[in-house]
Chain A
């Protein structure tokens, strides 16, 4: 949220500016790439549309879904900390090689670090009962591994691939529709929100000062966030109308009902040897983790 409002506020440009009629505390604005709404928006798009490539993005989407299924279920079948740790490391490697990008990675690391601090705090408060800590660690590893493979898989599937895979696996029509449509609405929502917040920034009263500990700024930010909700919902509803109409006009319903169209749409899918290899290797790696887990147990 703060990034939204602060997008063009001062940050780190040392260019001198010949303007005396602004408060001196304000540093000159600069056009920048990182940590702006624009960057978050682009980063979301890069993630959603699998633009970075990676080892899963080049595979057949059905193989990716199968891989995801295997990799996300495996951690639930063990209580061995060793196995879980190995699975976690494997999932982390998969996430890195699927190129999940800085935004998701940062969110994940922050989440895990928060979890770690929480576990340590618990241990300290309840004077470290080993069993309960082990339980929490195990659970964190499970959730972490599943989160990582989820990110790896979905970063590698753009909406087209995801709905093709679902279509190929004969999932109900509305599932493919929801996937497609959800992805379509993402940039619309972000754009709309951006435009509305920009409007508020320009047209509502500017802050004279940030206030004690920035409380005025916080208040204004919160107010804008709430006030933006009404136009956001209405504008999006109006825009959605056209999009849904056009989906139908362009034969989306027709496509989902026809076997011939299904063939044309899926003609490009190839489940090849490399896809088989990926799945076999994954199963073997997981099996190895289970074997090692029972051979070298840690923490009971």
Chain B
């Protein structure tokens, strides 16, 4: 048996002022060189547990701390956060605020310099190189997109080459292809340098592909710590903790509950290829073919229209950075539009233009018949609402109710009270109505922002990354709420990296690439175009990839759609 990197015994912790313990009776042993995924619902104690590994708990959070945490044999209580920092790298979930230096390069160099590593310049360059941050190395960190900030934080932790690296949600806000890069890099650190990796991860697909063992957290306890294949086989435990099994595992299990749990698309294809066959498309198939939104036959009323929009922003030093470079786009009645593209492709800027908070430097944006140049953001808010990336910034009053009521009450809507009540009910926010939105969990905060948006009764609702950093239950929740908005809002556009959201919710995908619309098509068409996916740094959902690998046409977008087309071969039919 190898040495333990982290040993936890009888750990309990209660935040000051909290009624319940966030961690209770935790015993855990993480072997040196392991790649551990910590899973569990929002609020199960995952982040708190990981903060005990580098001493942030209890050194920075005084609460009731009991038990013992040892890192390579050293008791964290007797050490300090910055001494532990040499051995334990930590990347927090809050990506923007963990950057402490002005530029990307300086931030990455910060920790190596602090630990007195003489080769810090080389380490810095290597870390920048590894995550492809060279082109933005001299940019100021607060002007980066969320994904770029997150990559910078990861590069900063990698540059130290600690013995344990803890990453709280490595791929939140990162575009899908770079998400794979991040994980591949973590895997390389793990395999080649023997660095123990601990990730908190909501995406079961990444857990399946990269982790070697899984810790399931539930109500502040470690439910179990198992090798990954065994862990993903425990579907019932995972589902009880709101961690759906990876879609490929669910697929194989649905076909044959006794089959071995596949971890990757390749394993799934091998098993399905040997044990099942694709049924011909049923007669009803035509109905389920997603209508291409760009179909000229279905000409619906235009809600918003962007013509030749260009935009760039000034940086602290150097020339303007162009973000949008001639975008033409019409958003129509009844559409559910997903804006996708790599980090920095211009998604958020396009949303700002559509909301009227920004006006384009060239070209026009017309929303609900109003040219944004001829109006003010306040007047445009009657037509369009933008829900930003950071829910915290939407909370302007000291209660959820106050925030939801702000817009309708401020405009003197006669039915404001009824409307607020209805919206609070609809989003199940009554229990929190008098609490400060900032103090809610991530999933609850998203619900509140959606409620604020709905209470504005816009024609066009714009959302920036509504599902990032949510556990799958909260995510499904948001997707369901979005779907249910259709009756109240004429058009919803979402900027997202979440391909499941694209597959399950959107009926039209607009791919942005280097500030232009690179493609405008239906989700199934997008996932069937490998060249486009590669260029836009997208990775299709596993189910769609399996469907493609099996030659299922049209491409399935959900597990059920794929299951409909697969038939298990009778036992013995395979040699």
Query: How far is the CB of A235 from the nearest CB of chain B, in Å?
Result: 5
Mark each residue of chain A from 251 to 282: 1 if its CB lies under 8 Å from any CB of chain B, else 0: 11111001011011100000000000000000
Contact B360 A31 (CB under 8 A): yes
For the complex, what is the distance from the CA of A30 to the CA of B314, rounded to whole Å?
A: 15
Query: How far is the CB of A132 from the nearest CB of chain B, in Å?
Result: 45
Query: How far is the CB of A163 from the nearest CB of chain B, in Å?
Result: 11
**Chain A residues near B376 (CB-CB < 8 A):** 8-9, 26, 29, 201, 206
Query: How far is the CB of A4 from the nearest CB of chain B, in Å?
Result: 13
Q: Is A169 an interface residue (CB 8 A)?
A: no
Tell me the dominant secondary structure on chain A's binding face: helix
Q: Is B150 an interface residue (CB 8 A)?
A: no
Q: Is A210 an interface residue (CB 8 A)?
A: no
Contact B98 A15 (CB under 8 A): no
Of the listed stretches B84-92, B257-265, B334-342, name the one at the interface; the rest are far from the partner chain.
B84-92
Of the listed stretches A56-64, A72-80, A145-153, A184-192, name the one at the interface; the rest are far from the partner chain.
A184-192
Q: Is B361 an interface residue (CB 8 A)?
A: yes
For the complex, what is the distance from the CA of A22 to the CA of B361, rounded to whole Å?
A: 21
Given A8-B357, A29-B372, A206-B378, answer yes or no on A199-B394 (Cβ-Cβ < 8 Å). Answer: yes
Query: How far is the CB of A246 from the nearest CB of chain B, in Å?
Result: 4
Contact B311 A31 (CB under 8 A): yes
Contact of A28 among B373, B388, B410, B411 (CB under 8 A): B373
In the complex, what residue of chain B is closest to A231 when comparing beta carbons?
Answer: B396
Contact B56 A245 (CB under 8 A): yes
Contact A251 B115 (CB under 8 A): yes
Interface residues on A, range: 35 or more
Contact A264 B374 (CB under 8 A): no
In the complex, what residue of chain B is closest to A237 when comparing beta carbons?
Answer: B438
**Chain B residues near A198 (CB-CB < 8 A):** 357, 377
Q: Is A138 an interface residue (CB 8 A)?
A: no
For the complex, what is the distance from the CA of A247 to the CA of B357, rounded to whole Å?
A: 34
Q: Is B369 an interface residue (CB 8 A)?
A: yes
For the complex, what is the distance from the CA of A215 to the CA of B440, rounded to whole Å?
A: 38
In the complex, what residue of chain A is closest to B86 when comparing beta carbons?
Answer: A251
For the complex, what is the distance from the CA of A36 to the CA of B381, rounded to whole Å?
A: 21
Contact B372 A265 (CB under 8 A): no
Interfacial residues, chain A to chain B (CB-CB below 8 A):
8-9, 13, 15, 17-19, 21-22, 26, 28-31, 33, 38-39, 42, 45-46, 49, 51, 158-160, 180, 183-184, 187-188, 191-192, 195-196, 198-207, 227-228, 230-231, 234-235, 238-240, 242-255, 258, 260-261, 263-265
In the complex, what residue of chain A is closest to B320 when comparing beta carbons?
Answer: A33
For the complex, what is the distance from the CA of A297 to the CA of B80, rounded to whole Å?
A: 62
**Chain B residues near A247 (CB-CB < 8 A):** 100
For the complex, what is the distance from the CA of A245 to the CA of B85, rounded to whole Å?
A: 11
Given A38-B314, A203-B407, answer yes or no on A255-B92 (Cβ-Cβ < 8 Å). Answer: no
Query: How far is the CB of B352 from the nearest CB of chain A, in Å?
Result: 10
25 examples of A-B residue contacts, CB within 8 angstroms? A21-B370, A26-B376, A28-B371, A28-B374, A30-B373, A31-B359, A39-B314, A160-B106, A184-B101, A192-B393, A198-B357, A203-B410, A204-B410, A206-B376, A206-B378, A239-B94, A242-B94, A248-B60, A249-B82, A250-B114, A253-B82, A255-B115, A260-B116, A264-B118, A264-B120
For the complex, what is the distance from the CA of A49 to the CA of B408, rounded to whole Å?
A: 43
Mark each residue of chain B from 446 to 482: 1 if its CB lies under 8 Å from any CB of chain A, else 0: 0000001000100000000000000000000000000
Mark each residue of chain B from 60 to 85: 1 if its CB lies under 8 Å from any CB of chain A, else 0: 10000000000000000000111101
Of B80, B102, B113, B436, most A-chain CB atoms within 10 Å: B102
For the complex, what is the distance from the CA of A123 to the CA of B92, rounded to whole Å?
A: 62
For the complex, what is the distance from the CA of A207 to the CA of B114, rounded to whole Å?
A: 52
Q: Shortest 6 CB-CB distances between A and B: which pairs?
A: A206-B378, A251-B114, A253-B82, A255-B114, A261-B116, A250-B111
**Chain A residues near B140 (CB-CB < 8 A):** 45, 49, 187
Query: How far is the CB of A20 from the nearest CB of chain B, in Å?
Result: 9
**Chain A residues near B381 (CB-CB < 8 A):** 202-203, 206
Known contacts A184-B101, A245-B56, A251-B111; 11 further A-B pairs (Cβ under 8 A): A22-B374, A49-B316, A188-B97, A202-B377, A205-B410, A230-B398, A243-B100, A249-B85, A250-B110, A255-B116, A264-B118
Query: How far is the CB of A161 from the nearest CB of chain B, in Å?
Result: 12
In the complex, what residue of chain B is closest to A47 when comparing beta carbons?
Answer: B316
Contact B114 A18 (CB under 8 A): no
Mark each residue of chain B from 337 to 362: 1 if its CB lies under 8 Å from any CB of chain A, else 0: 00000000000000000010111110
Given A28-B373, A31-B361, A247-B100, answer yes or no on A253-B438 (Cβ-Cβ < 8 Å). Answer: no
Contact B97 A243 (CB under 8 A): yes
Q: Is B379 an interface residue (CB 8 A)?
A: yes
Query: How far is the CB of B118 from the nearest CB of chain A, in Å?
Result: 6
**Chain B residues near A45 (CB-CB < 8 A):** 140, 316
In the complex, what residue of chain A is closest to B357 when comparing beta carbons?
Answer: A198
Q: Is B542 an interface residue (CB 8 A)?
A: no
**Chain A residues near B111 (CB-CB < 8 A):** 250-251
For the complex, what is the distance from the CA of A234 to the CA of B392, rounded to whole Å?
A: 10
Q: Is B406 an interface residue (CB 8 A)?
A: yes
